[in-house]
Structure 1
Amino acid sequence: MAKPILVIHGGAGIIPRESLTPEMRQKFLEGLENALKAGWNKLGTGCSATDSVAAAVACMEDSPLFNAGCGSVFTRAGSIRMEASIMDGATRQFGAATQLKSTKNPIQLAQLILEKQPNTHGFLCGEEAEEFGALHNLPQEPQEYFKTERRWKQHLEGLELDKRPQVSEDFSVVGPKGTVGAVALDVQGNLAAATSTGGKTNKMSSRLGDTPLIGCGTYAENGLVACSGTGDGEFFIRSVASYDIAAQMKYGGKSVQDASKFTLKSIEDLGGSGGLIALDSEGRFAMPNSGGMFRGWIGQDGVPHTAIFVDEEC
């Protein structure tokens, strides 16, 4: 029997200490703790790693603090476009969805796809994806549900900074880059990974990122590693980041720590930035990041551990 463990992230970026008030920092830490507890409520009672990562990610999707679900950023046109993926390391089957506008919890749609049709329609897009979710009674919400005051302000400030279809890199305007994610090892020794995002602030509505792409933003393989990434999506795609970690471990014999650091360095060398969480089959994990990442983990004692800034232990 393996010792279960859950590791999460809530986005990465260059996060200056002065960018977060003590009150906001505490809110983020509480949000991470809530997600860890939600995932541990599954993992710690013998549920699968897949159920655990889905629960942790759904909890962050339900918080306006994180760039996923109800906290998703806006496109240039002022609309919402979300995406998510999940992978079961035991079978290497996955579920993924993108271009979502009304699904309350995109990770639940990804998990539904994984459970219902992983070998025939594993990656769904747009209206048909949401119709599939609604057919199976997944909650749908109007656009107003996703329109938080904080994200709308970031949207307007971003438009003023740059009228072109690219995101500002100013943390005070756009907040942490990218996504929420989770990786887990369950008592059966199975690994799983899940990732969800609202994408880039003021992106073009048709843009797709690395989050729903298996091997880029998400990957899990039993006996090896489970990974979830956050940051500059195009660079994670170019690096095939999550699978790059797995390949280094599988074919090069690297540790999860060394492989993760190497992959992030490769992304940075290309001009990108972000962060990764990676968990191996023995419960060892890594959390490398370019300049800060909302992150945490929880193990057998049920005590959540969280951190934000790059120099903080977790």
Structure 2
Amino acid sequence: MTHHPVSFAIHGGAGDMPDRDHGYADHLAALQAIGVSTRQALADGADAIDAVELAVRQLEDCELFNAGRGAVLNADGDAELDASIMRGDGACGAVAGVRRPRNPIGLARAVMDDGHHVMLVGPNADQACDRFGVDTAPPDYFVVNDRLRQLDRARERSAIMLDHDEPLGTVGAVARDARGALAAATSTGGMTNKAPGRVGDSGIIGAGTWASDASCAISSTGHGESFVRVNAAAQIHWRMLLGHEPMTAAAELVIDQIVACGGMGGLIGIDRDGLVCLPMSTRGMFRAWAELDGPVQAAVFR
């Protein structure tokens, strides 16, 4: 069997975040550590699908990012979580509007592995945690003080914050393993002060998450409605497959479409050759990556 150099990328949200004196040192340290863990798993022979789930679980567990613990809160003050995962052979699973799974990406993976459905939503998806043996957590596990303050600010302004002074949260991962297989995963709490029941791109296969061994693996972050409108992640795949466009060119064209329909954000991608792209329309995107067995790098701003 041919051994392929491994590559991965992770993101923790994009936005027009302000410069800070310390340059988001805590975020960079978390991204670097999770990146090293992900790269080590791939180097040890992990399948791409297991590597992206591992990375997103760690991002969900880190309250610096808008997914799992530390997710933003909806208009009712609740954390409503969306996640999706896809393997390069077309297997996929997704959940939306869930409140119970400690790691929403784990429930999405369970849906994928079960194979009967692609997507479960709301209370019925929450009940599936018991059936699939997925760890759950009480509602207050997900709520952290920073997000309560953020919700208060949004309510004062009657705003649904995407927002321009704090990163558009969402976390995700893409990977190519030593067998050359691709996978992608995405997880989010959505937007601060969003309407209960709102679902963005992170829980939607084709919009926020896509993987095909024939082309690329993509995970998006940003204004979810815009990524849904242009079918962002899958569009890159089709541009590569049918239009023979390089991944980087296809991804940048899709980001241009996001901006054209009033949105903003970024994405991470890996193509079948193991090359990484990290385009964004925003000032920054929390990200870490390693390309073709190379070292782990982490960055915030463009």
Distance 2:242 2:293 in 1: 34
Q: Who is 1:295 aligned against? A: 287
Deviation of the 1:290 alpha carbon: 1.3
Q: CA RMSD in A?
A: 1.4
For structure 1, which runs of at least 5 residues remain unmatched after alignment?
A: none
Partner of 2:32: 33
- State the partner residue of 2:163: 169
Q: 1:177·1:231 contact (CA, 8 Å) conserved in 2?
A: yes
Measure how far apart 1:302 and its partner are. Answer: 6.5
Give the deviation of 1:303 after TM superposition: 3.0
- Quote how far apart the aligned CAs of 1:14 are: 1.0
User: Where does structure 2 lack aligned partners over 5 or more consecutive residues?
Assistant: none
> 1:203-214 counterparts in 2 under 5 A?
203-214=194-205
Question: What residue is the counterpart of 1:12 in the other structure?
Answer: 14
Partner residue of 1:144?
140
Aligned partners of 1:141, 1:65: CA distance in 2, in Å? 18
Q: CA deviation at 1:30?
A: 1.1
Distance in 1 separating the partners of 2:226 and 2:32: 29
Deviation at 1:215, TM superposition (A): 0.8
Q: Distance in 2 between matches of 1:31 and 1:285?
A: 20
Which deviates more from structure 2 when the two are superposed, residues 125-134 or residues 64-73? Answer: 125-134
Contact 1:40 1:302 in 2 (8 A): no
Give the SS at the match of 2:17.
coil
TM-superposed deviation, 1:301 = 4.9
Which range moved further: 261-270 or 301-310? 301-310
- List structure 1 segments (4+ residues) > 4 angstroms apart after TM superposition: 299-302
1:306 to 292, 298, 302: 298
1:156 has 2:155 as partner: no
Corresponding residue SS for 1:35: helix
* Correspondence list, 1:222-301, <5 A: 222-291=213-282, 292-299=284-291, 301=293
Counterparts in 2 of 1:285 and 1:299: CA distance versus 1, 3 Å: closer
Letter in 2 for 1:57: V
- Per the TM alignment, residue 21 of structure 1 is displaced from its structure 2 partner at its CA by 4.1
User: Structure 1 pair 168/304, CA: closer, same or farther in 2 (3 Å)?
Assistant: closer
In the alignment, does 2:112 pair up with 1:126? no
Structure 2 counterparts to residues 111-122 of structure 1, below 5 A: 111-117=109-115, 120-122=116-118
When normalised by structure 1's length, the TM-score is 0.92
Task: Give TM-score, length-normalised by structure 2.
Answer: 0.95
Structure 2 CA distance for aligned equivalents of residues 168 and 59 of structure 1:
23
1:129-176 per-position Cα deviation (integer Å, ceiling 9, x unaligned): 1222223322111111111011111011111012x5x326341xxx21
Q: What amino acid is the match of 2:203? A: P
SS class of match (2:301):
coil
- Residues 88-99 of structure 1: pairs in structure 2 closer than 5 A: 88-89=87-88, 91-99=89-97
